[in-house]
Amino acid sequence: MIKVVHVITDMKIGGAGMWLLNLLHNYDRERLDIVVAVPEGSMLKEEVSRLGVKAVEINGIGDKSLDLGSINSFYKLFKKETPDIVHTHASVSARVAAKLAGVGAIIHTKHCIDSPKTGIKRAASKSLNQMLSSKIIAVSDAVRQNLLEAGIPDSMIKVIYGGVDEVARLSAEDISEIKKSYGIEEQDLVYGIAARLAAVKGHKYLIEAADIVVKRNRNIKFVVAGTGPLEAQLKEMVQQKGLEKHFVFTGFIMDIGRIYNIFDVNMSCSLSEALCLSLIEGMSIGKPMIGTKVGGVPEVIQHMETGLLVQPGSPQELAEAILMLAEDEAVRKAMGDNAIKVMKEKFSASVMAEEILKLYNEAADRRRTNEKQ
């Protein structure tokens, strides 16, 4: 059995947290023994524990990649747990401690796309990653390209697409009840976006596009799921444009699958996106998509096959895509059917877990070989 300690520093459950929870729900418990280190007070502790996985709280690491004070805490944890592998999600502190503790393999998952680095910053990032990581998992080919541009050798990078569990399909009656609870009429088409309410997610372009759309089609509702720093600003923007009857802000929803069920089209308006798990979750129940041509989104959406791709920051192009799908139910159905097939082949959590296990086995085999030499 291979012992693995995962380290994640997120206080809330974002993309990296969902990636980890999807893995924990699908990993082979007869071949892997997993412990997860989380920050004190993180929302992830309860969810990790609920899956029957040991969660250890570390003080001072909340939403921090580097915290010098926590290196000793990680060192003690690794000496106590004696893992074969430490698998980190953004934590430089944990990687330093794993190196000092003599852990055989340090695997790091890159969940985001960084701004280009040049000069000293590029050299420092390259050296740090090479020194502190045995292997780096890129959650999309776009992330791989970003790592290559940062000077990371291709031999260190392994692309393993982030995977999700299939969303539970609800009955027509349940879907109708959820719609009613949000004031959505049966004849309304629902365009939804599930994302943190932050500038990078491009919600303001959706609102600007909606202002164009409703002049031609009044039976479209936009459901915005999530919370974030721009919540008040976005609600004010909707009010200023007189779009209150066309927008629903749900706030934070733990069981996001219920919301995907009411979407007719699932959307991402991001300016930067490593992969976009929210699109993939909708794919599992046949939701056609509209997404921006950024990062890993074009790896998720096959244009005109599973959805439509538009330029980021273009309300006009976004509006045209929204109206195009609104006018053709048969196209939406065909795209949704194709999306299910693609999701099962490329983006299921079980496929991801199998690929992670292969990587762990390779790392463990290398360690055994090195120990014999």
* Number of other CB atoms surrounding residue 144 within 10 Å: 20
Half-sphere exposure of 40 (CA within 13 A, CB side): 5
**Residue 267 forms beta bridges with which residues?**
193, 290
Polymer length in residues for the chain: 373
Phi, psi of 224 (to 5 degrees): -110, 110
Contact status, residue 94 vs residue 74, Cβ threshold 8 Å: yes
pLDDT for position 371: 64
**Strands in 155-272 per DSSP E:** 157-159, 189-194, 220-225, 247-251, 265-268
Give me 83's structure tokens. Answer: 């893992």
Tens digit of pLDDT for each residue in 175-184? 999 999 999 9
Q: What are the residue ranges spanned by the domains of the chain?
A: 2-164+349-372, 172-346
State the pLDDT at residue 128.
75
Closest alpha carbon to 32 in 1, 7, 55:
1
Q: At what angle do helices 119-132 and 92-100 cross, to 10 degrees?
A: 50
Residues 6+ apart with CB under 8 A from 10: 16, 17, 38, 39, 42, 44, 63, 89
Q: Which residue numbers in the chain have pLDDT < 50?
A: none
Predicted pLDDT at 287? 98
Of the candidates 162, 166, 234, 168, the one whose C-alpha atom is nearest the C-alpha of residue 197 is 234
- Helix intervals (H) in 151-266: 172-181, 203-213, 231-240, 257-260
Cβ neighbours of 247 (radius 10 Å): 19
What are the pLDDT digits (tens) for 245-289?
999 999 988 889 999 999 999 999 999 999 999 999 999 999 999
Please name which of 133, 140, 112, 101 lies closest in space to residue 363, comparing C-alpha atoms. 133
CATH number of 2-164+349-372: 3.40.50.2000
Q: What is the pLDDT of residue 366?
A: 81
183 conformational bin, left if phi > 0, alpha if psi -120 to 50, beta if neither: left
In sequence order, what are the beta bridge partners of 251? 225, 226
Terminal Cα-to-Cα distance of the chain (whole angstroms): 22
pTM: 0.91
Residue identified by tokens 């079980």 is 350
Predicted confidence at residue 122, as pLDDT, reads: 67
CA distance 226 to 364: 39
In this prediction, residue 130 carries a pLDDT of 78
* Continuous segment of H or E residues that includes residue 310: strand 307-310
Q: Take residue 199 and report the two structure tokens written for it.
A: 């500038």
The angle that helices 349-372 and 15-26 make with each other, rounded to 10 degrees, is 80
The pLDDT value given to residue 369: 65
Locus of tokens 């012992």: 3
* Residue type, position 289, single letter: M
pLDDT recorded at residue 123? 65
How far apart CA 317 and CA 311 sit, in angstroms, is: 7
- Distances 131 to 95, 159, 225, 357 between C-alpha atoms, Å: 9, 20, 40, 23
φ and ψ at residue 323, rounded to 5 degrees: -70, -35
Percent of residues in the chain assigned helix, strand, coil, to nearest 5: 45, 20, 35
CB 81 within 8 A of CB 104: no
C-alpha span between 106 and 86 (Å, rounded): 5
Measured between alpha carbons, how far is 137 from 114 in angstroms, rounded to an integer? 15
Q: CATH: 3.40.50.2000, 1.10.10.10, 3.40.50.300, 3.40.605.10. Which one for 172-346?
A: 3.40.50.2000
